[in-house]
Amino acid sequence: MSIQDSNSSVVAPTIEDVKRAIEEVTSLMDKRFAKLDADGKYIQDIRLGSVESVSVWKSYGFSDFPPYVITGVINHNSDKYIDSVYRRPLQKLVNGVWYNIGFI
């Protein structure tokens, strides 16, 4: 580390200059590590994954288990029976990776 005076001569930094530089670097590192730590521990986003569907009238339908949520129930022919059910997995983003959410 060097400092130039008004005559463009290189002078040695003072202890105060070095302390100030160390404090600036430490503060910047603390902020960056805090963000990395937070990003790795907390849910950053949620979404619904790819849709799945099944015809109910000629199958057993879907069982109720995580991570799926029902997103659609269709009666194609307007009678009194459900024809199709749609579901999607509920997902969370943690540290840049999407995971299916299990039991909440």
> What confidence tens digit (pLDDT) does each residue in 80-89 have?
888 888 989 9
> How does residue 68 score in pLDDT terms, banded at 50, 70 and 90?
confident
For position 84, what pLDDT does the model report?
87
For position 59, what pLDDT does the model report?
67
Domain ranges of the chain: 3-41, 45-100
Say whether pTM exceeds 0.75: no
Which residues, in sequence order, are CB contacts of 61 under 8 Å at separation 6+?
A: 54, 85
Which residues, in sequence order, are CB contacts of 5 under 8 Å at separation 6+?
A: 11
